[in-house]
Amino acid sequence: MDPAQTTIAPKRLGMLVVTVVMAHWLALGDWSPTPEATVKSVAAIPRPEQTTQLRTLGHPPATSQRTMEAAAARANSPDATPDHSEPEGSIKNRGIPPEQENKFATKNKSSKPNTSANKPTEPDDKPAASLVIASLTAPPTPASPTEVTPAHQPTPATPPAESVPIATPGSVTLRYDVTAQRKSLNVQADATLELQVAPPRYNARMTLKAWLAGSRIQTSRGTLEPNLGFVPERFGDQNRSKPEQAAHFDRTRQPPAVRFSANAPDAELLPGTQDRLSVLLQLAALLEGRARQTPSKPVVAGDLFRIHTAGTDGAEWWAFKVLEQTTINLPAGATDALHLRRDPTHAYDNQVELWMAPAMHHLPVRIWWQQANGDVVDQRLTALTHP
């Protein structure tokens, strides 16, 4: 083979490859992904009328020579009608998300000339994204007045918490025998109320256990304030093996609020708001403070103590009415006690009766409550001990 031909052959082969590639490019055009596919993958699916108009900025659709000639022919035709399609660079051809389109269209409406008086008006459809946002930002359905403190709640009958004498108890443990009537069956159980005080903090725990029925545990923790008594920060309620539900007393908010793990609406948090466990201790502190600091004005039948009380799904006013001073027989022995009652305020509420012993810092020596379905739980003191 001639050495000269060996040198020339690779050059001819390279030119042949370039020629073939150019021929394919001219025949098939750009094979990169279309702008429509790019927009659809990174933004919400456009409305039907926008599907063929969305383009990414800087990538106008390729226009063939044949298309340009056809457009020129239509423009020069005597029967041609004005072309009202969106020009290149318009809002719909810039890849603007659908939820911003109406805003830009409104902004440019005054500056854009009206090319045809007979052009039909496009419907002002709200984008799907706007509907979703509206549903998320809509105010929640208000709870019934019996579950959350209503705005028109009257002023408590008792004086403000700051002016009521309060004497909080120290650390103590109370044990109870429990008799429960559930669906016409008598159930025996036991309960323990533990209060641990390490000023300025407290921890309280009520545990009720029944054989073969599991247990129910309520907890309350917070601080002790000289003028307010018990100031709860968290209340927990766990019934048997179910997950615990809790209420959080958030005083960092403005206004302060009680937040619930059960996704219930927030409740108003007042300076004297209690939970369903601390309310028993707060009532004892109020009665003891009254007996110590104002002995000339003893608590008498008809007196009413109203305490704003939160559960795990709402808050309301609990009103305890003093009924009488009596002596009751308990497993711990005969005890003088002040009898109070809290009547239900709605169809699904509980009735609660308490016997508070003056000789035991007015702590509850008997707790009796009846549920709306008729079930009754009766706790009677067996022992009171101090650490």
Per-residue confidence of the chain (387 residues) as pLDDT tens digits? 554 555 556 566 667 655 544 544 444 443 333 333 333 333 333 334 443 333 333 344 444 455 455 555 555 555 554 444 444 444 344 444 444 444 444 444 444 444 444 444 443 443 333 222 222 223 333 333 223 233 334 434 444 444 678 999 999 999 999 999 888 788 899 999 999 999 999 999 999 998 877 899 999 999 999 989 999 999 999 998 889 999 999 999 999 999 999 899 999 999 999 999 999 999 999 999 999 988 888 899 999 999 999 999 999 999 999 999 999 999 999 999 999 999 998 888 889 999 999 999 999 999 999 988 889 999 999 999 998
SS3 (DSSP) at 382: strand
Query: Can you give the pTM of this predicted structure?
Result: 0.59
| CATH code for position 302 | 2.50.20
- Domain-embedded: residue 306: yes
Domain membership flag for residue 265: yes
Residue 110 belongs to a domain? no
**CA distances, 222 to each of 167, 168, 200, 262, 277 (Å):** 16, 13, 9, 21, 12
- CA–CA separation, 90 vs 141, rounded Å? 42
Q: How many structural domains are present in the chain? A: 1
Q: Is residue 68 part of a domain?
A: no
For residue 184, what pLDDT is reported? Answer: 79
Among candidate residues 354, 291, 299, 352, the one with its CA nearest the CA of residue 328: 354
Residue 351 domain flag: yes
**What b/e readout covers 21-47, taking b as 16+ CB neighbours within 10 angstroms?**
eeeeeeeeeeeeeebbebbeeeeeebe
Residue 262 belongs to some domain of the structure: yes
Rounded Cα gap, residues 106 and 121, in angstroms:
14
Do the Cβ atoms of 23 and 62 come closer than 8 Å? no
* Other beta carbons within 10 Å of 167: 17
Report the pLDDT value the prediction gives residue 172, as an integer from 0 to 100: 98
3-state class (DSSP) for residue 144: coil
β-strand 333-342 against 351-357: which pairing, if any?
Answer: antiparallel
Nearest-angstrom CA–CA distance, 83 and 148: 62
124 is a domain residue = no
Q: Is the residue at 76 inside a domain?
A: no
Q: Which domain holds residue 376?
A: 161-385
Q: What is the pLDDT of residue 348?
A: 86
